[in-house]
Amino acid sequence: MTAILKTRDVHLSYAKQETLHGVNLDFDDHSITALIGPSGCGKSTFLRCLNRMNDLIPKTTVTGSFQFHGKDIYAPTTNLVELRKQIGMVFQQPNPFPFSVYENVTYGLKLAGHTNRHYLDEQVERALKQAAVWDETKDALNKNAMSFSGGQQQRICIARLLAVQPDIILLDEPTSALDPISSAQIETTLLALKKTYCIIIVTHNLQQASRIADRTAFMLNGNLIEDDLTSKMFTKPANQATSDYLNGKFG
């Protein structure tokens, strides 16, 4: 396993109040890393640092080192547009554009300047198949993406992301707005995608983390408490706080 993304000493303050107090985490390629912890522990904030979505929030300052393929994400020369193509994000709320499925999936490709219809068709099919939503959408590619169910919408969003072939996929509680059946389908999709991508998922659902993640990182009050192989962390956590959280003593 090689770490594709390494973060060191990540501090983040919002309006002079520090919410991340030095996080060090490595993320391996071809694996799923889950970030867990109680609400407000900073796991989503940390995730959003990884493709610089926090740049959009005024008065936010981020320090620390983020090495992606050996290059610093926060270097002044970093092309934000290219970075976000390589480190894509799926949000908590399914957020397909109110356009057709086809237009949603080709959105990123068209931004990148692809106009060849044949190539776009191919990529749409590949992305929708990878996101396991091809069977439901293949006869309705021109239908408005908003007219699908929540779970289907979320998988269309994943397909929209896969179409641009990122290296890393960030998921911010992608199933918390979905029913159990749709969640299970998303989990199956993620397990299949792991073979090709580095996946980092923030989740509130501990069972979900234990089911799909190779590694799990536990955060509390802006600190990284523990990160380890999921199997080890869920059976023999090294830290008492981790153990308490996993056993539901607080949350």
Partner 1 sequence: MDEIQKKLTAPSKASREDVTGRIISYTCIAAIIILVISILYFITSRGIATFTTNHVSLWQFLSGKEWNPGTLNAKGQPQVGALPMIVTSFSVTILAALVATPFAIAVALFMTDIAPKNGAKFLQPVIELLVGIPSVVYGFIGLTVVVPFIRHLFGGTGSGILAGTIVLFVMVLPTITSLSVDALRAVPTYFRSASLALGATRFQTIYKVLLRAAMPRLLTAVIFGMARAFGEALAVQMVIGNAVLMPRNLVTPTSTLTSQLTTNIGNTIMGTLPNNALWSLALILLLMSLVFNLLIRCIGKRGEIKS
Contact positions toward partner 1, by CB under 8 A? 51, 53, 56, 58, 81-85, 88-89, 91, 93, 95-99, 107-108, 111-112, 146-147, 157, 160-161, 164
Segment holding 96, helix H or strand E: none
CA distance 4 to 185: 27
Q: Which is nearer to partner 1, 97 or 234 (CB)?
A: 97
Q: Tell me which long-range contacts 221-228 makes (C-beta under 8 A, separation of at least 24).
A: 221/21, 221/41, 221/42, 222/18, 222/19, 222/20, 222/21, 222/23, 222/41, 222/42, 223/21, 223/22, 223/23, 224/23, 224/24, 224/25, 225/37, 227/25
Q: How far apart are CB 117 and partner 1 at their closest, in Å? A: 18
- Sheet bearing 71-72, strands edge to edge: 17-28, 3-14, 60-68, 71-72
At its nearest, how many Å lie between partner 1 and the CB of residue 98? 5
Pick between residue 171 and residue 220 the one whose CB is nearest to partner 1: 171
Q: How far is the CB of 85 from partner 1 (least distance, A)?
A: 4
Q: What is the DSSP letter of 199?
A: E
Please report how close the Cβ of residue 39 comes to partner 1 at its closest, in angstroms.
19
Type of residue found at 88 = G
As a whole number of angstroms, the distance between CA 38 and CA 202 comes to 11
Give whichever of 201 and 224 is closer to partner 1, judged by the CB atom.
201
CB of 87 to partner 1, least distance (A): 9
**Smallest Cα–Cα separation from 164: which of 113, 98, 200, 198?**
113
Q: Are 235 and 243 in contact (CB under 8 A)?
A: no
CB 64 within 8 A of CB 9: yes
CB 33 to partner 1: min, Å:
19
Is 72 or 82 the residue whose CB approaches partner 1 more closely? 82
- By beta-carbon proximity to partner 1, the closer residue of 169 and 225 is 169
| CA terminus-to-terminus distance, the chain | 32
What is the DSSP-derived secondary structure letter of residue 140?
A: -
Q: Of 51 and 175, which has the nearer Cβ to partner 1?
A: 51
Considering the complex, state which of residue 170 and residue 233 has its C-beta at the smaller distance from partner 1. 170
Q: Work out how close the CB of 92 gets to partner 1 at its nearest, in angstroms, rounded to a whole number.
A: 9
